[in-house]
Structure 1
Amino acid sequence: MNRIQSIENNLTSINDAAFQELCDRLIYFKYKNPSAFARIGSVTGKQKTKKGTPDSFLLMSDGEYIFTEITTNISDKGKLLKDIIACFDYKKTNISSDKVKEINLFFNFNIDNAYIEKLKSVATSFNPKTEIIFWSLDLLTSELSTNHHDLVSDYLGLSYDTGQIVSIEKFISEYNRSSHGIATPLDNEFVQRRQEMDELKRKIAEKDFIIVTGAAGVGKTKLVLESIREFIQENKTYKSYCISYKYDSILNDIYQYVSDGDDYILFADDANRIDHFNQLIAYYQSKQFGKLKILITVRDYAYSDLYLNCPAELTEVIKLKKLSDNQLIDIVKGEPFGITNPNYQDVIIRISDGNPRLAIMLSRLAVEKQDISALSDVSNLFETYFNTFIKDLKELANPINIKSLGVISFFNAVNIKEKERLLTILKNFDIPYEVFLEAVQKLNSFEIVEISYDYVKISEQNLSTFFFYLAFIKNRQLSFDVLLTHYCNDYMNRFSDCIIPANNTFGSEKVMDAVQPDLKKYFDEISDDSEKSYKFLSVFWFYLRSETLEFLYNEINTYSKNGNVNTKKLRLEKKSTLSDEDPTLELLGKFFVGSPELKDAFELSFEYIEKCPVLTHALISKFKELINFEAKDQQSIFRRQGTLLETLIDKIEKGNGSYLHVFYGVAKLFLKFQFQYVSDYRNRTIRFHTYTIPLTEEIKTIRKSIWVTLDLHFLEDQDESFQVLKDYSEVGGDISKEILEYDLLFIFTIIDNHLKAELFEHCLYVQQLIRWLQRHNIQSSKFVHYRNSFVNPMYDLFTKIDMYSYEHREDYEFDDYDEFLRIKELSIRSTYIFKDQADMDSFHSMLSDIAIVRGPETIQLESLEFILEENFKKNYDNGFKFLELLAKRNERLWFIPTKSLKQILVTEENVYSIWELIEKISFRSKPFWKISFFTEIDSALIKNEHIGLILEIFTEIENLKFMSLDWVERYINLDYELYDKILAIVTERNREPNVKIGLQIRYFEKTFKMLSKNKSLIQEAYIQQVKIDPHFDYNKEGLFRIIETNASFLKDYFDYFYFSGDIEFTQTKADWGFIWEIEEIESVFSEIFKRIAEKNIFSGFSSHFLNNFFRNLEEDKKAKANEFLFELLKTNYNDIRIINLIVNIARYARREIYENILLLYITLNQDPDDFAKIWWRGNGGSYNGGDISGEIEANDWKGILSIIDKAEQNTNLIPIKKVIGDKIYSCLRFAKRERARLFLDR
């Protein structure tokens, strides 16, 4: 009879009194530290029951009750109903039903679900919030066998081994023996943890409880043992013992070995597995003399529970991280292993995943075989190792253990409390429920599985992979066909997580031989369903490559040629959950990694885009993503790239020109010298790689094919072909001179065959190519010929006006940059002195054409300034004509004369003629020419009549940001109201739709006094400018000047921007503390608070915008701001929305007054409902992946409670404390679920 059955049998025959004691101890263990605990149904001092309702209860810190009702009368199941009703009978309990939080029903038999629902319904009728826990025979058996071996021994007479306080040496011996080779021996050399050891020794001296936590296998136990050894050598008064836990009470053992008055260190390894951990705490608290240090190791997912049981002020937590890759390499290549082969180092590092235990295990096995250089397959090493410890541990080889591990590995974790679901799973694989639970207990004792939060999972991922492989593939003790039949639809991700690692670790052939027949059978059953087939084949394509290609062939042939209509596919895309990506291309892309059917996949891909051309770009992107050159391609002599190019060129040569577009995309990719790509790494992370291709014969063939094809088909699409050439010479990063020299002969051929000196863009390309090649120290006799022949008038013009070069030398090639600018300017001025209108027209036409080719933004307009100014100097009439030409044909170049006008506008005659020219021509930049005119005109020529012309400019401008009005200052003496008039016009214009005229803040700052008479105009203009550019008044100095004279403007400002939904405004962090310098701002600011509260748009998450007014304040401003918040609270303590704003400010910008705000509030308002609606700790939070948010939030509420406890004792605060207690309880329950999630996700 197995232990599970023994527990069940003993539970069914237990006497009433013993059963009641057992249940009371269980419930007390579940709810630690209640405010009160009473066993009403038990006779004090005797193991005897008596009548009472409830049988026992716990009073919790929040004032609510946990009831317990216990029965062993299987013949009267109706007693359960009577017990529930009695629990809500005030006459029997003297406790109001609304305070009954939970009722625990203990009974040593099972009931069906229908009766459970009936009982729950009855309880709900009394109090919908009361939770009913049904401790049936099944649940009790599971709980006792998993977590309470001591109770099994005490009450059911099923004893466990003892002898648990041992020396370090004996602990190591027992650990090594009990691990059966699975764990790393603790007598190995200790490496790579010197810094952590020194830290731990310091903490031992400082604290009495030290918790060392981390993932399985990171070296926690070894670190603690070595640290204890060194600490004792340095502190001779201490003795040390280890707890070798054997599921029995440890208190008597501790008293036997630990004498009062001496100094001791007790080490509890994997303390989360110790049922009697609280006995350690109790002993520590009872020890009168001498020092006692308790060191604990615990896995990362379980440390929080232990921490909460330790005295917080005496406890330190050390989180041990996985070793870095470099640290693991030091272990592998150091003594005693000496593994220096980097290929095998990489494999060991990948498999061990930062875990020194696994790194040492794998290294040790390799050395034991004395044949590491001959091991060609890591899967052999891995499998040999696991087979070794299965052979050593014969009990583990029991088929039921392997089958149980196989089931657990597939599901990642199994909830052993969800009996109905678990029964269904186990039934599918012919595993009896009780036998499975017994196996789990044994596997847990071997540390192969872990049990936590009612879940069991295999302790490490590579162990899980191995047992999946062993159970489903190698030994076939579990049916892969059954797995597919029942779980393929709902657990496809688990198939990926199990099959792919098994494939990579143990060899694809072994996996394929085992699973392929079942996969073929399953696919035959679903092949008529396209959606299921795509989903299925996306995981299993590698084992069904022929079937996958046939499926894709049939899918593609549902398209009509050159059409896009496929009703079957449209339906699929509508309901497909794969992604927005094309599922056919995604599945074809699986083959691009290098399968034997690579060419067939390429052929199908081309056939697909021929029938659905709209996906051509998607296919090119897929090639760029998956056919990039990688280091692994060199081992396969670049088969993937060569096959793609060969297939593509073959189609082009057969006359299908539509494939040229694909060719151009592939050519641009393949002609690079260096490639960046990413690869999957551990734990869903990626690695970035840079690969420089070598000039092998295969690379030469690939590049030659591209260049030759480009030459043959250049004329079929000259723009795309030419773009391939340009992209090649514009490549960034390192280049290979060797490859460049190889390519050059092909490039020269294309230049000779297809590029024309008559075309500016061809000349520009060839000349820039030469300079690019010379920068890379490439020389050729062709350069002189090309440099002389690839020139034309347009290119000559470009080189002469280009401000970045001079006579085939770039600006950076000159030692003296100022000298370069000087000679360049002289060259431009002397070269372009126009003789007549035709000369000008020719210049402008070529310059415009250059702008079309190069883009208007590339034209250096500074050159035009030199040319214009010089022509005015040489011949005013010619200069005037050229200026007229620039105005008339302004659209292409968008030229605005500046410096040149300064040299011209020095006489009355010139001023008159230039203004007349500007006025008579209609062109887009006309207002800006006018501004330039009034900016550059000689001061002596400024007249009163210019004022009206200046104002007219602002009626013509449509849109302009950051307009400088510094030039206007020249005209202020003629009209002191000019700034006012300009501002009035700009403000009026900005009211028009689609008009945005932006001014610089300097305009407001310089002219504030002049404009102060028209406050309403300034205020409207200011709001307009901030709307146009949120950074217009970045330091808020302009705003300060306005509200200094009119504080109420701050309300208008807020009304416009804060309530307009301007996200950038409300989310910007800025210092607005200047408002506290303004007299009587409090009443205005109070109104702003009320307006924000009325809008009710604050969620409570993160920092509210109002914090900007309270942060980074000087001391005098702090006092004023704090007083404002206190007064605002006093007058609005019943307005939850305003209080939430105040609390948010106290939590962020004014943290030092948070406690005072809280204490002041509870003196004004003790309504618990109001208190519960205030975000005292915020609404939610931002957490890192490993954080337990529920625990963090619970601690926040505990801190709030500690502040309230400082208030004068007032019974009116009890309801508020009840609210906080509920919050803490809720947060801790959520924390438990979070820890369970972290456990499952590890």
Structure 2
Amino acid sequence: MSKLNEIQNKIHELNGGEFQKMMDVYFSKIINGEVYSIGSVIGNNNTKTGTPDTLIKTVENKYIFIEYTVQKSNLYKKFEDDLEKCLDKSKTNIPINEIEKIICCCTGRLSTEEISKLTTKVSSYNIRLELLTIDSISFKIFDFPSIASDFLNITLDTEQILDIDDFVKAYNRGKLATTLNTALYARESEIDLIIESINRSQITILSGKPGVGKTRLALECLRRYKENNLEYEIKCLRNNGQNLYSDLKLHFSNPGKYLLFIDDVNQLTQLNLILDYLGLEEEGIDFRLIVSVREYAERKILEKISKLNNHLIKIDILQDKDIETLCKEEYDIKNHLYIERICKISKGNARLAIMACETAIRENTLESIANVTELVEEYYKGIKKDFESELENSGLLRTAAIYSFLTVVNLKDDENLILMAQLANLEKNDFLRMTEKLHSMEILDIYEGEVAKVSDQILSTYIFYLAIFDKNLLKYSELIGIYFPKLKNRIIENLNGVFSYYYQKENYELIKEEIIKVYHDLKEKSDDKLEDFLYTFWFALEVETLVYIQEDIDQLSKEEDNQINYDISKQNSNTSETLSTLSNFSQTEYYNESLELIMNYL
């Protein structure tokens, strides 16, 4: 059975209230205006008498009337009566000249003759009539997978490509996620730059530190861009690790203009699938991207898209006066002591400021927002209590930390699940039981029983901190020993995320000690991963990395036929990696040594 047939069958099963609610959501997505569900009962799926069943007031101050029915027979008579009521000002209190359109929706079919006669009844009033039967409605719902999922329980895609409002709902649904519903403060100049960039670039990149407000800023730009570019279909990608191919095909295969926002593009492993859509102009597809990327991953993303028309915009932290405005206007915090403390610990980071405001309101004590570490502890204290209240809390926390480390896990990959279970010191069945427990605690999201992911980014970082640094339940050396270099990029992402919120000398030294353990093991085995390991973890092995590169240079100088091209763009990847690693030493005490090695290498 095709998905279209399945949609039609499910629509036939809806009662009047369910049908109206589904279609009201649909119209709210395609019509720019205020929706009033006059004939719908709040809180349940019953209906009540009203004319029209739904009223939409457009931004042009015109009115759209919508009538619904799930009758299986006498549809013509039903709509004929509905039209008479809609055209009766005594029943609607709206003058006929202010009615722009009347839409009649049904779960049955009308004949050609019936459609013609109904259209004639309103033509003399200069009012457009739209008649939507089961056929046209099913086609329309097919284009909105989230509606098919919510109202018909039909899965059309992996629910990763969403409308703006659905993206915000999905984001805010995460347990203790920092809300995206706050107003935007002090970003007007950035908004102008971003909208200008969207107009002239294929890809607009928003780069900044974690928590500066890139996601919220991007969403504001999408909404404003849509206001002046109604022909563009605006979508947001919320990555859950599932394959994107069918989603992209469903949403972007038809000729049209599309703008897609990708949040944290540095965590997306299927970027190339999306970039392919940038070259389909000849097929009538105008496809543009706006992406957010964490500052530390900016260079790698720029390398991936270097041949495409892109524009990088740096998003800076907020100033203290902006944080103060957020405290006062968004959270009604007026006490100057609280505001000063929030400004001090957030250091311009919008996400930390929101977390601090919400914690301060909930706890009503200055001590609850003493510093960043204690703030995050306080914000997630309920989660910590959940772990501590479980009899098997150490196994549960270890399991959660491993999921946090890996970000996205394929639950069909038995080989990896066995490795994860071993790391958690559990049998595979016990590990899967812990996985289900984390899902029931709303810590872990599981998509169609195939992919698992911690529900919130900062929650993921906190769980990892709790297990590795606070409770010492997992050895970092064991994690990187198993997953390096296969998941090298993910390991780097994880470290940057942890140190964004928990950079303390003792935490750094613990990680460094664990990295050194793995290094010595690789060196003892003369493992061919040693070079890659040094280039990745150079910050913990500064002297060892410089010595290794020096020895490499000495070896190169002995090879008479070896010539290094001075045109760096033409050098091999190994050369680029070596020079890139040496450039990392520019802010360290080994700057002079690294500079000398660069000169020798070239």
Task: Compute the TM-score of the two structures, normalised by the length of structure 2.
Answer: 0.45
Which structure has more RCO (C-alpha within 8 Å, separation ≥ 6)? 2
**Larger strand percent:** 2
**Larger helix percent:** 1
